[in-house]
Structure 1
Amino acid sequence: MLRLQAVNQFFGPKHILRDISMELPPGQCTYVLGRNGVGKTTLVNCIMGHLPVSSGTVTWRPAGGAEELNLLQHPVEQRAALGIGYVPQGRQVFSQLSVDENLRVALLAGRNKTRQVPSMVYELFPGLHNMRHQRAGDLTESGQQQLAIARALVLEPELLILDEPTGGFQPSVVKEIGHNIRRLQRDFGLTLLVVEQQLPFTPSAGDRFCLLEGGCNVAQGTLDQLDDSLIQTYLAV
Structure 2
Amino acid sequence: MLRLHAVNQFYGPKQILWDVDLELPHGHCTYVLGRNGVGKSTLVNCIMGHIPITSGSITWHLHGEAELNLLQHPVEQRAALGIGYVPQGRQVFSQLSVDENMRVALLAGRNKSRQIPAMVYELFPVLHNMRHQRAGDLSESGQQQLAIARALVLEPELLILDEPTGGSQPTVIEEIGHNIHRLQREFGLTLLVVEQQLPFTPEAGDRFCLLEAGRNVAQGPLDQLDESLIQTYLAV
Q: Which category describes the TM-score, using the shorter chain as reference length?
A: over 0.9
State the AA in 2 paired with 1:224.
D
Once the two structures are aligned, what percentage of the paired residues are identical? 84
Gaps of 5+ in 2: none
- Determine the structure 2 residue equivalent to 1:216: 215
Shift, 1:64, TM fit: 2.5
Which deviates the most, 128-137 or 192-201? 192-201
**Residue identity matched to 2:13:** P
Deviation at 1:235, TM superposition (A): 0.2
TM-score (ref. length: structure 2): 0.99
Consecutive unaligned residues of structure 1, counting only runs of 5 or more, are none
Instruction: Please name the residue that 1:39 is paired with.
Output: 39
In structure 2, the partner of 1:111 is 110
Distance 2:203 2:113 in 1: 35
Q: CA deviation at 1:128?
A: 0.2
The whole-number CA distance in structure 1 between the counterparts of 2:67 and 2:234 is: 34
User: What does the per-residue CA deviation read over 1:210-237, in whole Å, with 9 as the maximum and x for residues that have no partner?
Assistant: 0000000000010000000000000000
1:169 Cα deviation after fit: 1.1
Give 2:122's aligned residue.
Answer: 123
Report the alpha carbon displacement of residue 202 of structure 1 after superposing the two structures with TM.
2.3
Per-residue CA deviations over 1:81-116 (Å, capped at 9, x if unaligned) read 000000000000000000000000000000000000
Matches for 1:140-151 after TM superposition, within 5 Å: 140-151=139-150
1:172, CA displacement in angstroms?
Answer: 1.2
Question: Given that residues 198 and 235 in structure 1 are in contact (C-alpha distance below 8 angstroms), is that contact kept between their aligned partners in structure 2?
Answer: yes
CA–CA distance in structure 2, aligned partners of residues 145 and 64 of structure 1: 33
Q: What is the distance in 1 between the residues matched to 2:96 and 2:170?
A: 29
Q: Return the alpha-carbon distance in structure 1 between the equivalents of residues 80 and 202 of structure 2.
A: 31
**Preserved CA contact (<8 Å) 2:8 2:56:** yes
**One-letter amino acid of the structure 1 residue matched with residue 152 of structure 2:** L
**AA paired with 1:114?**
S
Supply the AA of the counterpart residue of 1:26.
Answer: H
Is 1:152 matched with 2:156? no
Runs of 4+ in 1 over 4 A off after TM superposition: none
| Aligned residues of 1:33 and 1:212 also touching (Cα < 8 A) | yes
Amino acid paired to 1:18: W
Q: CA deviation at 1:182?
A: 0.5
Counterpart code for 1:94? F
Aligned residues: 236
* Aligned-partner Cα distance in 2 for 1:171–1:154: 27
> What is the Cα deviation at residue 203 of structure 1?
2.1
SS in 2 for 1:144: helix
**Residue 173 of structure 1, CA deviation:** 1.0
| C-alpha separation in 2, matches of 1:157 and 1:165 | 17
Q: Distance in 1 between matches of 2:199 and 2:7?
A: 27
Determine whether 1:185 maps to 2:184.
yes
Structure 2 residue matching 1:205: 3-state secondary structure: coil
- Taking the aligned partners of 2:201 and 2:101, their CA distance within structure 1 comes to 32
Moved more, 197-206 or 34-43: 197-206
Does the CA contact (< 8 Å) of 1:33 and 1:196 recur in 2? yes
8 Å Cα contact 2:31-2:199 kept in structure 1: no
1:6 aligns with 6
Shift of 1:51: 0.5
